[in-house]
Structure 1
Amino acid sequence: MTGATIQDPRQRRAILLGVCIALMAVIASVSGLNVAQPQLSLEFGASQSTVLWIINIYTISLAALLLPLGALGDRWGRKPMLLAGLVVFGVASAAAGLAPSIEVMVVARFLSGVGAAMIMPVTLAVITSTFPAEERSKAIGVWTGVAGGGGLLGMYLSAVLVDFASWRWLFVLPVALVVVAMGVALRSIPNSIEERRFDGVGALLSVIAVVGLIFVLHEGPSAGWTAGVTLTSLVVGVVAAIAFVTWELRQAAPLLDLRLFRERGPASGSVSLLTVFGVQAGIFVVLFPYFQAVLGWSGLRATLGMMPMAVVMMLASGLAPRAAARIGARSTMASGILLAGAGLVLMATFVSVDGGYLSVLPGMLAMGLGMGLTMTPATEAITSALPPARQGVASALNDVTREFGTALGVALLGAILSAGYRAAIESRLDGIPPATAGTAREGISNALAAADGSQPLIRAAQESFVAGWQQAMWAGVAITALLFVYVLLRGPARKASSTAPQQEISVPN
């Protein structure tokens, strides 16, 4: 039986609800623990680097396993893979919430990443393989809205739980979402299977390459870009990536057909998602310290301050399919990128120590609108390049691109911010005791802790942070300008071409 398109609109709504709830559980867990770093350190007597490993091991295992598990979902059945992923993710999240030691917490977070890698590609693959062509763009718009704004929503809810309860309550939300998603999946989501050979060698090489390269981006800023572990990881990642490309190009049934990137759609979609998510993640690295260290906000209030951007992004993701239908995918993506760049210009131009929240809000709203308009057609450009039978791989490619972009943006814009801060504060440390000045050079949080109420040093640190902020924003402007030109020249066609479906077995509920 070819295809698995669902004609009943009520079932399609249930499918969309179920996969978005599952996706929300995964996305919220990416950023949720960030707000509880001090509590985790006190609870387990752990160092800052150990706490960061608790957070990062989830994203590394998630990113590394997306492609292999996406392909296995196509082969074994998307519904069984989704249900198995929800079970693994739910049990691991509960174990993390009840963890008696740091070792249990690390293992639980790793298994949560494994479960998330089983869930995430399937959520999008279910949409692209079950929704008819005329409804697919709208459904992808909803999915991208949740994927883009869900992290901020999860972080806000996590901040509320940490402030008013305990960090252990952070894991109640994903477990509850898993239970609801399983109920919907069992009742409404159909199964579909593709009989295709699994590329085990390609899967192994992809895991090694992703782990190596993501590890570099995570550890480089803290361990040092020239540290032995960083350089070793870089070499391993690059060698594995080259081996993966070489192997895949020689296979009749590759894990990922790299020849697809000769086409405009998947190439421009991947580059756009990589860049947009990189800039978005880098902006978050800049905004939260601004809210907390410059404006003096609490973590909860800082997270709430980001919500307008997330809401606009989610709304724009839902409107993007209509815009693409009117003016074309390329024009919609280019308009979104232009708006995002304008938002960065606004924030770089008007931010100041005394300007407060209103000095950055217009730029945040423009960024949210631009990213929302870009993400949906970029995602559809990737998924439409592969047939329905390979949607698990297409969805995994989409997700891996997002994860790489996020890690790259945090590393790049975070490094620019830090370098700009250090350069700016050097000229503002006259008359400051050498020991205090040395601490102040390490970052704005260190400077405020060492200031001991000294207003000149506090002001110097805040002004230096704003100087670093502006450099990071202008770097983001340059990146989005290059992306804008690239999309104008090599963006997808007005309407993504629909690839002829391959043979797929649809299995009843």
Structure 2
Amino acid sequence: MSLNQSAQASTGPSGVPGPVHVHVPVPGDGGPDARQRRTILIAVCVALMAVIASVSGLNVAQPDLAVEFDASQGTILWIINIYTLSLAALLLPLGALGDRLGRKPMLVAGLILFGLAGAAAGLAPSAEVMLAARVLGGIGAAMIMPITLAVITSTFPEEERGRAIGVWTGVAGGGGVLGMFLSAALVDVANWRLLFVLPVVLVAVALVMAVRSVPNSRDISRHSFDFTGALTSVVAVVGLIFFLQEGPERGWGAPATLIGLAVGAVAAVAFVTWELRRRDAALLDVRLFRERGLAGGSITLLAVFGVQAGIFVVLFPFLQAVLGWSGLLSTVALMPMAVLMMISSGLAPKLAERIGPKATMATGIALAGAGLALMAAIVSVDGGYLSVLPGMLAMGIGMGLSMTPSTEAITGSLPQERQGVASALNDVTREFGTALGVALLGALLSAGYRSAIDTRLDGVPEDSADTAREGVANAIDAAHTAGPHGQDLARAARESFVDGWQQAMWAGVIVMGVLLLYILARGPRRPVRTPDKPAPAAAVTS
């Protein structure tokens, strides 16, 4: 691709003029062959696995962290959430910087920072050091995650890109469950500090492979970096995610929660206003959301990842508190859903080639909604794991089918030299959807449980009843000291949890139903394929 051709590619897919950029591949001997592309895909997926595993890994170690650091539950939650918060807040600006400074240097720097932060967290002597290490880890992850997808979209030729994105999506979707599985095993048989060994090892492997095989490309822009857009985007994401994460804990009407909402909303409006004014030099041209692919893909990922995260919030207490399973066994129980999600993510590009991306996304969304309906309709205390397994399997297949074409719709909506921003937008959508799903479905579960348990506490001593209202795990614990009422209290708590579960699941069904109607009406169209088109200039290896 010539410099003039690259500059012309800055026009958006809807005919909206984009920023003027000159795409400069780092000189080399030519594009990577099929074997090199496989190595590149493995390298970026290993890096992605390290990032994703660190999002959920500490969830299973909350009691151990509290004892180790003599920390409150609020502090422990911040140790877990500060990583996701810093990751989501910096994805967009760091993705844009990676486009400018070079994707390979940004990836390598991010891997080094992430590895050092992981080592510091594993050796942390106090909660304060742990918090600082988690912040640095989130910054490193924000440097890595958008680049992994940008390398794929700028390296693989068009006819192979969908399958490569399918592999990336499967790792992104299933990596969290695999991370929880390995974390639960380490916590059960060893020590929580070993949780950081796996990400550090993955980072070391990815670093060696990236230095050897990942090609470099960068974007020379005629405009200065959009620092105002970067700042307002960071404030908007931090404020809104703080609101979503703290709302269920502090209360939706608490002053801190409302301040987070106000700050996030004002910053979001300021970001959109500024980006519309800056136009040719915008960090993210918000007018591109008029394009069906970008809008449809973003909304689908927001909803699907939100429901997935909410499902995990609901499933873990069901398996651990209602069924009485250990953390490791509970994580093993989630593996069928994760495996099917990864398999269907890999099959989605082939299906999209046959029936189109809109039909593939719609099929996946319909299956996910059906899975939620199954889990709402047939779950019961006595039915145990088998009462939720069919719904989990349908959810896994549906999420995999919907995520890959959604990701490809987003990355295909921005020009080649803006793939760092496209990838970051894809990742921000996922993280924001995760926070939204945890807040919404978690709050519905808690509200449904409290409403149901109140009607089942007749005759239970007041102290035990108050404890039971706090949650199903608290109720099961209180049942041991409730005397002759203990068995009844435990049964009431489990049945009340199922009532709250059903309320959360039906809400998810409604979300999937609305999303299905939207995609059927405004989903991405089948792209025009050009098989003879040469590989993009970004694929030139260094």
- TM-score bucket of the superposed structures, by smaller chain: over 0.9
Q: Counterpart amino acid of 2:215?
A: P
Aligned match of 1:205? 232
Say which of 286, 307, 324 aligns to 1:279.
307
- 1:148 lines up with 2:148 in the alignment: no
Instruction: State the alpha-carbon separation in 1 of the partners of residues 273 and 72 from structure 2.
Output: 41
Aligned match of 1:182? 207
Aligned match of 2:388? 360
Contact 1:439 1:450 in 2 (8 A): yes
Over 3 Å counting, the alpha-carbon distance change for 1:173 and 1:505 in structure 2 is closer
Contact 2:32 2:540 in 1 (8 A): no
Instruction: State the alpha-carbon separation in 2 of the partners of residues 47 and 397 from structure 1.
Output: 34
Q: Counterpart amino acid of 1:284?
A: F
Aligned match of 1:429? 457
Aligned match of 1:478? 510
- 1:215 lines up with 2:242 in the alignment: yes
- 1:36 lines up with 2:68 in the alignment: no
Identical counterparts, % of pairs: 71
Instruction: State the alpha-carbon separation in 2 of the partners of residues 255 and 6 from structure 1.
Output: 29
Say which of 491, 501, 506 aligns to 2:523.
491
Contact 2:31 2:541 in 1 (8 A): no
Contact 2:87 2:139 in 1 (8 A): yes
Q: Counterpart amino acid of 1:493?
A: R
Matches within 5 A, 1:272-351: 272-351=300-379
SS class of match (1:193): strand
Query: How many residue pairs are counted as aligned between the two chains?
Result: 508
Instruction: State the alpha-carbon separation in 2 of the partners of residues 255 and 204 from structure 1.
Output: 11
Aligned match of 1:97? 122
Contact 1:122 1:392 in 2 (8 A): yes
Contact 2:323 2:384 in 1 (8 A): yes
Shift of 1:504: 6.7
Shift of 1:76: 0.1
Instruction: State the alpha-carbon separation in 2 of the partners of residues 448 and 225 from structure 1.
Output: 27
Contact 1:194 1:505 in 2 (8 A): no
Q: Counterpart amino acid of 1:219?
A: E
- 1:455 lines up with 2:482 in the alignment: no
1:234-279 Cα offsets, whole Å, 9 max, x none, are: 1110000000000001112100011111011000000000000000
Say which of 417, 433, 437 aligns to 2:445.
417
Shift of 1:147: 0.3
Instruction: State the alpha-carbon separation in 1 of the partners of residues 317 and 181 from structure 2.
Output: 16
- 1:60 lines up with 2:85 in the alignment: yes
Say which of 236, 247, 256 aligns to 2:274.
247
Aligned match of 1:467? 499
- 1:402 lines up with 2:430 in the alignment: yes
Over 3 Å counting, the alpha-carbon distance change for 1:505 and 1:148 in structure 2 is closer
- 1:9 lines up with 2:34 in the alignment: yes
Q: Counterpart amino acid of 1:153?
A: L
Q: Counterpart amino acid of 2:96?
A: A
Instruction: State the alpha-carbon separation in 2 of the partners of residues 41 and 425 from structure 1.
Output: 28
Contact 1:256 1:393 in 2 (8 A): yes
Q: Counterpart amino acid of 1:486?
A: Y
Aligned match of 1:377? 405
Say which of 432, 438, 456 aligns to 2:466.
438
Shift of 1:506: 7.1
1:424-480 Cα offsets, whole Å, 9 max, x none, are: 111100101112111111110111111116110000000000000001100000110
Instruction: State the alpha-carbon separation in 2 of the partners of residues 246 and 111 from structure 1.
Output: 30
Instruction: State the alpha-carbon separation in 2 of the partners of residues 84 and 7 from structure 1.
Output: 23
Cα RMSD after superposing both structures: 1.6
SS class of match (2:281): coil
The alignment's TM-score, normalised by the length of structure 1, stands at 0.98
Instruction: State the alpha-carbon separation in 1 of the partners of residues 434 and 83 from structure 2.
Output: 14
1:277-307 Cα offsets, whole Å, 9 max, x none, are: 0000001011000000111100000011000
Contact 2:32 2:539 in 1 (8 A): no
Instruction: State the alpha-carbon separation in 1 of the partners of residues 540 and 33 from structure 2.
Output: 17
Instruction: State the alpha-carbon separation in 2 of the partners of residues 107 and 492 from structure 1.
Output: 41
Contact 2:156 2:539 in 1 (8 A): no
Instruction: State the alpha-carbon separation in 2 of the partners of residues 22 and 141 from structure 1.
Output: 16
Q: Counterpart amino acid of 2:391?
A: G
Shift of 1:496: 6.6
Q: Counterpart amino acid of 1:8?
A: D
Instruction: State the alpha-carbon separation in 2 of the partners of residues 507 and 280 from structure 1.
Output: 37
- 1:124 lines up with 2:156 in the alignment: no
1:466-497 Cα offsets, whole Å, 9 max, x none, are: 00000110000011000000000000002378
Instruction: State the alpha-carbon separation in 2 of the partners of residues 362 and 107 from structure 1.
Output: 42
SS class of match (1:332): helix
SS class of match (1:195): strand
Say which of 184, 194, 198 aligns to 1:159.
184
Q: Counterpart amino acid of 2:503?
A: Q
Q: Counterpart amino acid of 2:68?
A: E
Contact 2:154 2:538 in 1 (8 A): no
Structure 1 window deviating more from structure 2 (28-37 vs 443-452): it is 443-452
- Ranges in structure 2 where 5+ consecutive residues have no aligned partner: 3-22
Contact 2:345 2:400 in 1 (8 A): yes
Instruction: State the alpha-carbon separation in 1 of the partners of residues 435 and 62 from structure 2.
Output: 19
Instruction: State the alpha-carbon separation in 1 of the partners of residues 537 and 284 from structure 2.
Output: 18
Q: Counterpart amino acid of 1:471?
A: Q
SS class of match (2:220): coil
Instruction: State the alpha-carbon separation in 2 of the partners of residues 479 and 278 from structure 1.
Output: 10
Contact 1:193 1:504 in 2 (8 A): no
SS class of match (2:217): strand
Contact 1:144 1:314 in 2 (8 A): yes
Shift of 1:6: 3.4
SS class of match (2:53): helix
SS class of match (1:194): strand
Over 3 Å counting, the alpha-carbon distance change for 1:142 and 1:165 in structure 2 is same
Q: Counterpart amino acid of 2:455?
A: S
Instruction: State the alpha-carbon separation in 1 of the partners of residues 459 and 491 from structure 2.
Output: 14
Shift of 1:505: 7.0
Say which of 252, 274, 278 aligns to 1:225.
252
Instruction: State the alpha-carbon separation in 2 of the partners of residues 133 and 62 from structure 1.
Output: 29
- 1:74 lines up with 2:99 in the alignment: yes
Structure 1 window deviating more from structure 2 (422-431 vs 4-13): it is 4-13
